[in-house]
Amino acid sequence: MKTIVITGASSGIGAAIARRLGRDGNNLALAARRAEPLNAVAAECGAHAMAVIADVTRREDVERLRDEALRAFGNVDVWINNAGRGITRSVLDLTDADFDEMMAVNVKSALYGMQAIVPHFIERGRGHLINISSFLGRVPIATHRSAYNAAKAALGALTANLRADVASKGVDVSLVMPGLVATEFARNAIGTPSAAPPQWTPGATMTPQTAEEVAEAVAELIEHPRAEIYTNPASAEMARRYFEELS
């Protein structure tokens, strides 16, 4: 049994991860802004799950989440920064508010999580920090996602830097890169939803995964930590082809 914190746990990938890890009897501290759906997910995850209403773009809320998890369970073994939001806006149409929102939700929230929990991991000599990114953070081919792509690329860089900083301290740091996932993500993005999935590489499209498939990949990652994973088996080859086209 592990104690696991998951942000953005009220729906989509976060909720699927919570349900999957809850089935294994783990202690779960689940965070999101919306109380009703978050409480419903926590109830599905069993007696060892707690809901913490929090806006993870606020540092004080993230620190409170950490403190409530430690108070309830005594320690934290795994922290999953999953909260995120998309955008449907081209680069030339981005406003200051658009860009600031993308960075706050997709990068700063994760930074707050890293800074809140990793000192606890270092003190214990063990722990696993997982940042949920996106294939678009590595291969920014969906131009209508613009600032979202940029934010996830920034998250990837921060994750790699943190991994290097704690390499000798017993702390695992992982980046998870889902591709297209069948959730409400696109509908909740800033701007008008895109009518068609993007072309990821010339002549190829990515088949959507379910949130449950992503959750299964995360559960496997917790059991066998790695630096980075693509949740879609086709993603690595698509990324390779993309960078070959650039060279």
Give the residue ranges of DSSP H helices in the chain. Answer: 12-23, 35-44, 59-73, 96-103, 109-124, 146-165, 211-223, 235-246
User: In the annotation, is 148 catalytic?
Assistant: yes
Cα–Cα separations (whole angstroms), residue 141 to 65, 93, 145, 224, 242: 35, 17, 9, 30, 9
135, amino acid identity: F
Nearest to 148 by CA among 84, 82, 239: 84
> Is the Cβ–Cβ distance between 134 and 152 less than 8 Å?
yes
- Using CA atoms, how far apart are residues 201 and 236, in angstroms rounded to an integer? 12
In sequence order, what DSSP letters do the residues of 27-92 get, joined into one string? EEEEEES-HHHHHHHHHHT-TTEEEEE--TTSHHHHHHHHHHHHHHHS--SEEEE-----B---GG
DSSP state of 205: -
Q: Two tokens at 78?
A: 């795994």
Catalytic residue, chosen from 112, 148, 230, 242, is: 148
- Using CA atoms, how far apart are residues 82 and 17, in angstroms rounded to an integer? 10
| Active site residues per annotation | 148
